[in-house]
Structures are given as C-alpha cells and as structure tokens.
Amino acid sequence: MTTDIDAVLDYVDAQLDASLARLFEFIRIPSISTDPAYADDCRRAAQWLSSQLGDLGFDASVRDTTGHPMVVAHGEAVAGPHVLFYGHYDVQPVDPLALWATPPFEPSLSPQPDGETHILGRGASDDKGQLLTFIEACRAFKAVTGKLPIRISMLFEGEEEAGSPSLGPFLEATAEELRADTILVCDTDMWDRDTPAITTMWRGLVGEEIEITAADRDLHSGMFGNAARNALQVLGTIVGRLRNDDGSVAIPGFYDGVTELPDAIKAQWQRLPFDAEKFLADIGLSIPAGESGRSVLEQIWARPTCEINGMIGGYTGEGFKTVIPAKASAKISFRLVAGQDPARIRESFRAFVSSLVPADCSVRLTAHGTAPAEMMPLDGVLLNQARLALGEEWNREAALAGTGGSIPILGEFKRRLGMDSLLIGFARFDNRIHSPNEKYDLTSFHKGIRSWVRILAAFAQ
C-alpha cells in the first residue's frame, strides 16, 4: 500500500500542469446560478463534470431538476467504506466587474512576492478548484493502480450559491441511490496557510423579524410626546433586554440542550495559532462581547448567539423631523449550537417579545429561515483516519475546527440520508470568495490533491 501511495503521489506531482489545465477549462464556463441568462452555462458545467467522470470510469450522468441539473456519479463497488463526495459547480455573480484586475472567466496564474502563486478567476476557490482536488486524486489512483481505493460516489449541484432549492427534493427522490457511510465536502478553509483543518461543528440558524405598531400614524413629538407610545422606544426596550450584563442571552430556556465543549477539543483549540487580540483589532475592536469567561474561539464557534442585524423606524432621511414613529422593526438572527431545537428557540423568542409589548401596542413576527446545528462525533474512525492523513501531508496536526456560520445543506444530508459529513477544505481566508479577484493558491490546489490521495488510501485500510 505504501508503494502504491508513493507512486500515486508522484503521479500527482508530475501531472500538476495537466490538472491545472483542466481547472482553467472548468473556470472558463460562467456557471452563475442566480442569473437565468447563464442557465445554458450551468448545464454546460454539469455536462463537463459528467464527461470528466465518465472518462475516469465512473457511471456518471446529468440529472434534471426544476432548477439547474445535478451530476451523479458512481465508481465501481470495491471493498471498504463507501463515501459520497459533494461539491457545487455554480459560482457567484462577478459584479462589480470594474473591480476585477483580470477577466473573471479567463483564469490566469499570478506569482506573489512570498513565493506563492495565485490561481485567479471566479470559482477558482468556491468551489471549482476545491472539488477538482478530489476528482484529480481519483484520476491519479486510476492512472497508477487502475482502480479506486474505495467505493466512491459523487454529487455535484448547480444551485448552492442560490440556496440549493432543488437539493432537498432531489435527495428525497434519490436517497437509496446516494446513501453511503459518510459525505465528504471540500468547500471549507484551512486553519491557516500551513495548517489543514477538518470542520467538525457548524452552527444552526433562526431568523426573525419584529414589527411593533403603536399609534395608527406617525405623531408630532411636541403634541403627543410622553402621552403616546413610541414604537422605536418599545422596540429598543425589547432589543436591549435580549442580553444580560455578562453577555449571555436572556431569553428563558435559550441554553436548554447546550453542552460544554469537550475537554479534548478545548485543549486542541488552545494549541492552535490564534491571536484573539489581533482577531478583534483587525476589525477595530478590542473587548470580546459574548459570554464572559469564554474564549473568543468558543464564542464564535461553540456558543449560541443572538444578534440584531438591522433596525428601522421613524424618519431616517436628510435633516431632522420630530415625529413619534407609529411603526418600528428589527431583524434578529440566532446562531445555534448542537443540542438546541430551532423551533423551540423561535417559540421562546416570540414569547419573550410578546411579554414586553405594552397592551395598547401590537407585534407582528415573521420567520426568516431555519437550519439545525451539527457536531461531528469526534471518535469517528474515518474522521481520525483523515486527520492523521492530513498530518502526514502537511507535517503538522490538523485542526478540528468549528465554523460560526450555518450550512443548511448539511442538515438536508443528515435529515434525508441519515449521514454525517466530513468537511475537509483547502481554501484560505483571503481567497476573496464572492468578491472581485477571487483566487485559489496553487499550493492549496496541489497539496489538496495529494491530501485526498492520502485520505482515500487511509480509508482503504
């Protein structure tokens, strides 16, 4: 097995230029999912992937949905675990085009002063370069050994950047076909430029909008001040009571189901090269605002949040207008952790708000999205095999990281397929995804392919 791995890795190194040429070809397809004008290009990207996988011996096909098509591919049935690799071929719009230093769909290489080389182009990192690291690893195995080391299936969608509206129904219809031992996802970041990471936890989401109505119209503050309720003041009182003085969320029952971070993970996070003061200083702040006694990494990865995303009411134009607003609204989001029930959080929040609304006022609450939080079992065999394999490639311990964001598609996989996900990505925080001048580091692309070779070989054992 060691000899085979060495030969496969040598092939990856020797064929890097050919792998890069395929990535450039893929990036040149402007598969923007949110703009109907690019529907044909999205289909072309799906067909390109299907053709590439077919050439590698996969049973690959383009599957129509009510939106952009899916690509499904199955490798031969061999011994060992069965993995489903997921990625997306669609990309974000390129606006504002004037801010791009190079044409977004004409990929190029840009050598950097630090010795790194950037692969420039829309989708270079998110997610074409990332997903191709896995395909190229499979290509290397097929070229050197004539077969894949384990049973591999793949699923690529074309609507991830548009909220994946077709994914849930598609998974429901193909659950038996797609079910495997685990899902591999390559659409996340490394810890830093030299430290690989496996994302083991991601937060859920509850979004709510509050609209307070007081009087039946905006009022003159001189004629009605003191006597009439001010909708903004009512809203301000509600918002001001959402957190306690120690930074914790004050909604009754909010922390039900929340558990402490495992000691092993807390210790590993303490070993990570993370400067909490610099993290805040880089955004012009200096004092952590979450629960007191919690590290910054705990606050952004492992603890639930309550944030006010926007407030509006009364006169907000130029100059000054002395009115008492009749209506005021706020958008509130909650990032949840494993153990919290999104439906119960929404119910508790609404009860909390309603208890603070004066009897002569009314409140309208509107739901804006829900996603569950997940935390991977840290004793999983595949997770630990992947962690060791990454350490061999990068010569340092792979971080078991969290993400403060929410990944709704992973909830779909869990709910409809009953499968946990392994998130192993090779992007860097400065890749400018969703922004002009998106890039992917050549080192990330090259060592990403090598990393997957090692991971798949480890799974085969």
Q: How far apart are CA 125 and CA 444, in angstroms?
A: 9
Contact 339, 374 (CB under 8 A): no
Residue at which a domain ends, from 344, 371, 398: 371
Can you give the pLDDT at residue 290? 93
Whether residues 19 and 163 share a domain: the answer is yes
List the CATH number of the domain containing 128: 3.40.630.10
Whether residues 173 and 96 share a domain: the answer is yes
Structural domain for 446, as ranges = 2-202+374-460
What secondary structure, in 3-state letters, does 214-232 show?
A: CCCCCEEHHHHCCCCCCHH
Can you give the pLDDT at residue 2? 55
Whether residues 33 and 49 share a domain: the answer is yes
Residue at which a domain ends, from 371, 392, 419: 371
- Report if residue 270 sits inside a domain: no
Whether residues 142 and 7 share a domain: the answer is yes
How do residues 124-167 score in pLDDT, each as one tens digit? 999 999 999 999 999 999 999 999 999 999 999 999 999 899 99
- Report if residue 366 sits inside a domain: yes
Q: Domain total for the chain?
A: 2
Whether residues 64 and 196 share a domain: the answer is yes
Can you give the pLDDT at residue 369? 82
List the CATH number of the domain containing 348: 3.30.70.360
Whether residues 84 and 226 share a domain: the answer is no
- Report if residue 266 sits inside a domain: no
- Report if residue 287 sits inside a domain: no
Residue at which a domain ends, from 371, 388, 422: 371
- Report if residue 299 sits inside a domain: no
- Report if residue 97 sits inside a domain: yes
Whether residues 114 and 213 share a domain: the answer is no
- Report if residue 276 sits inside a domain: no
Whether residues 98 and 219 share a domain: the answer is no
Q: How far apart are CA 135 and CA 452, in angstroms?
A: 9
- Provide the residue-wise pLDDT of the chain in tens; the chain has 461 residues: 556 899 999 999 999 999 999 999 999 999 999 999 999 999 999 999 999 999 999 999 999 999 999 999 999 999 889 999 999 999 999 999 999 999 999 999 999 999 999 999 999 999 999 999 999 999 999 999 999 999 999 999 999 999 899 999 999 999 999 999 999 999 999 999 999 999 999 999 999 999 999 999 999 999 999 999 999 999 999 999 999 999 999 999 999 999 998 888 889 899 888 999 999 999 999 999 999 999 999 999 999 999 999 999 999 999 999 999 999 999 999 999 999 999 999 999 999 999 999 999 999 999 998 888 988 888 899 999 999 999 999 999 999 999 888 888 888 898 899 998 999 999 998 999 999 999 999 999 999 999 999 999 999 98
Can you give the pLDDT at residue 403? 87
Can you give the pLDDT at residue 3? 62
Q: How far apart are CA 375 and CA 241, in angstroms?
A: 30
Contact 435, 95 (CB under 8 A): no
Whether residues 355 and 313 share a domain: the answer is yes
Q: Which of 201, 409, 205 is nearest to 307 (CA)?
A: 205
Whether residues 93 and 215 share a domain: the answer is no
- Report if residue 264 sits inside a domain: no
Whether residues 209 and 324 share a domain: the answer is yes
Whether residues 15 and 146 share a domain: the answer is yes
